[in-house]
């Protein structure tokens, strides 16, 4: 079974620039999550999709972050404009259904450095 | 107060030793509990679920104490390959909350 695919693997940008990350979940997984993991911290949920609808985006900084999951499959996360504190690993995960932490699969993540 | 708190460690133990650490959670209504493992610069991966009665998976034993709202993980006969960060995960309804992780280093 193919895992969760993410790209790019690494990205370095200057502050105030824009950046986009892409995620392709495991086939058939209805629920997709974007997490931000800052060095030394646990993953923090940014947004959760159920199919193409948003379930929870309460911790998404909506003034600069946006995400979409058109057609309920692939998803993109965008940051515009980036700040230094956005430097982190952005992890995408998927599961068959919401809340199934035992059935989560994470992608390898995108490591963002904002300089 | 953080939703999930863990002792960050690091726990530095020799091969063959037993190491144990806890995690506390703030939401008494939390329903499901898990331990994830995260290797350096890798993504988190499920280690094991934590059941109310406690459960074992090989050298790993997980316990849940709902009254005191803590979860524990014990690793017996530590191997070099057990070196990692262990993330405590608490779930209620659809939402998961991750602890910051406990780092374990097993030395030869």
User: Which pLDDT tens digit goes with each residue over B19-55?
Assistant: 999 999 999 988 899 999 999 999 999 999 999 889 9
Closest chain B C-alpha to A22 CA, distance in angstroms: 16
Helices first, then strands: H and E counts in chain A: 0, 11
Q: Does A28 touch chain B (CB under 8 A)?
A: no
User: Residue B78 and residue B11: Cα distance in Å, rounded?
Assistant: 12
User: Residue A21 and residue A15: Cα distance in Å, rounded?
Assistant: 16
Q: Do B91 and A101 touch (CB under 8 A)?
A: yes
User: Residue B104 and residue B85: Cα distance in Å, rounded?
Assistant: 6
User: Residue A41 and residue B8: Cα distance in Å, rounded?
Assistant: 10
Query: Do B80 and B106 touch, CB atoms closer than 8 A?
Result: yes
Nearest residue to B3 via CA among B104, B103, B102, B96: B96
Segment 78-107 of chain B within 8 Å of chain A by CB: 87, 89, 91, 93-96, 98-101
Report which DSSP code applies to B28: T
Q: Does A43 touch chain B (CB under 8 A)?
A: yes
pLDDT at A1 over 90: no
Q: Do A104 and B42 touch (CB under 8 A)?
A: no
Q: Do B42 and A108 touch (CB under 8 A)?
A: yes
Closest partner residue to A99 (CB to CB) among B43, B45, B94 is B94
Q: Which of helix, strand or coil describes residue A3? A: coil
How large is the average pLDDT for residues A13-23?
A: 98
Residue B61 sits at the vertex; the CA angle it makes with B30 and B7, to the nearest 5 degrees, is 65
Closest partner residue to B43 (CB to CB) among A44, A56, A91 is A91
Q: Do A102 and B34 touch (CB under 8 A)?
A: yes
Cα nearest neighbour of A55 on chain B: B94
User: Residue B50 and residue A14: Cα distance in Å, rounded?
Assistant: 42
Cα nearest neighbour of B97 on chain A: A44
User: Residue B31 and residue B11: Cα distance in Å, rounded?
Assistant: 28
B50-107 confidence digits (pLDDT tens): 998 899 999 999 999 999 999 999 999 999 999 999 999 998 877 789 999 999 999 9
Query: Do B15 and B106 touch, CB atoms closer than 8 A?
Result: yes
Nearest residue to A109 via CA among A15, A35, A49, A59: A35
Q: Which of helix, strand or coil describes residue A49? A: strand
Q: Do A101 and B93 touch (CB under 8 A)?
A: no
> Above pLDDT 70, what percent of chain A?
96
Nearest residue to B44 via CA among B101, B105, B104, B108: B101
Give the CA distances from residue B6 to residues A20, A59, B60, B70, B86, in Å, rounded to whole numbers and listed in that order. 32, 21, 18, 10, 9
Q: What is the dihedral of CA A114, A73, B38, B63, to 10 degrees?
A: 130
Residue for token pair 């280093």: B105
Query: Do B88 and B96 touch, CB atoms closer than 8 A?
Result: no
Per-residue pLDDT, B94? 72
């Amino acid at each position: 079974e193919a895992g969760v695919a993410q790209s790019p693997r690494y990205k370095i940008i200057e502050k105030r620039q824009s950046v986009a990350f892409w995620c392709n979940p495991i086939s058939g997984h209805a629920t997709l999550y974007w997490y931000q993991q800052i060095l030394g911290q646990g993953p923090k949920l940014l947004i959760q999709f159920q199919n193409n609808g948003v379930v929870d985006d309460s911790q998404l900084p909506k003034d600069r972050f946006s995400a979409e999951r058109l057609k309920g499959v692939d998803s993109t996360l965008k940051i515009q404009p980036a700040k230094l504190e956005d430097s982190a690993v952005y992890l995408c995960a998927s599961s068959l259904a919401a809340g199934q932490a035992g059935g989560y699969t994470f992608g390898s993540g995108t490591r963002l450095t904002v300089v | 107060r953080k939703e999930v708190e863990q002792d960050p460690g690091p726990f530095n133990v020799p091969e063959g030793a037993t190491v144990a650490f806890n995690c506390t959670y703030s939401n008494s209504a939390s329903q499901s509990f898990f331990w994830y493992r995260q290797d350096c610069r890798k993504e988190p991966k499920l280690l094991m679920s934590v059941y109310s009665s406690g459960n074992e998976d090989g050298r790993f034993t997980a316990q849940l104490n709902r009254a005191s709202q803590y979860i524990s993980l014990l690793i017996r006969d530590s191997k070099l390959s057990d070196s990692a960060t262990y993330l405590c995960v608490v779930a209620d309804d659809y939402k998961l909350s991750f602890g910051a992780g406990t780092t374990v280093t097993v030395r030869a």
